[in-house]
Amino acid sequence: MSNPRRYTLTISCPDRAGIIAAVSGFIAEHNGFIVEASYHTEVDANLFFMRQEILADSLPFDAEEFSRRFVPLAKVFKMTWQLSDSSEKKRLVILVSKQDHCLNDLLYRWRSGELLVEISCVISNHEDLRSFVEWHRIPFIHVDMPGNDETAKAVAFEKIATLFEQYQGDCMVLARFMQILPPWLCQRYTGRIINIHHSFLPSFVGAKPYHQAYQRGVKLIGATCHFVSEDLDAGPIIEQDTMRIDHGDTVEDLVRYGRDIEKTVLSRALRYHVEDRVLVCGSKTIVFR
């Protein structure tokens, strides 16, 4: 049995008395039925965050009319807000290099209906995964990125941005895409690019974090899913997880363990994002699980 259609309303605004009452009252005034509600106040920033799911069929109008009527209330409270419709699936553009464990996991969850998205295309700087992606009847686009040719790389990233627009992407997913995105691309799609980093950030940024962790003799390894920013591996964190290791584990063991953590963390974070459960607050996130 499929879930009933829902509208998800997300809000951030300066904190003050009466916000919850005003929004809930607006919905109740139109006989709207709230089926899930979450709230959080970030005290230091004096910001209030809200997420509400409303049964679409309980309202006498569609999402466009809801938005039009909600504007005056939003202005009163100086809200930054968004209304999404569960019947309109988010469109993902996935970027990947040679490693396939995260991509494989996402495609399985998509194919099984666990991840309710549209995968518009997969872009890669290598040809290795073409047949695997095309078996799923998903467009695969190879964008060459010569190792030391910065001019060619700049052209390649321009092509990626063009493809993202062409395929009407809502979210760009870096599923072990082993290239550093240029600042202009990070700025253009702020809050719309998600990366999985094979380390428990902020420790061990950059390349080969498992090797760094092994050399430091850490007792925990992990993975971090975050929004991409201009600063390498420093964007707002969405989800993390860890596992315990010991002195007997080799670098190869750490890499093997890490693959399992990476794909789990990425899929969880992506689900939170496409369900509009993630709101950015400065350098961190509010995640309504």
46 — alpha (psi -120 to 50), left (phi > 0) or beta? Answer: left
Decide if 44 is catalytic.
no
Query: What domains appear along the chain, each with residue ranges and CATH number?
Result: 6-85 (3.30.70.260), 90-287 (3.40.50.170)
CA distance 6 to 3: 8
Catalytic pick from 85, 233, 249, 260?
233
The tens-digit pLDDT sequence of the chain (289 residues) is: 468 999 999 999 999 999 999 999 999 999 999 999 999 999 999 999 999 999 999 999 999 999 999 999 999 999 999 999 999 999 999 999 999 999 999 999 999 999 999 999 999 999 999 999 999 999 999 999 987 788 999 999 999 999 999 999 999 999 999 999 999 999 999 999 999 988 776 677 767 777 887 888 888 888 999 999 998 878 999 999 999 988 888 989 888 999 999 999 999 999 999 999 999 999 999 999 9
CA distance 258 to 252: 10
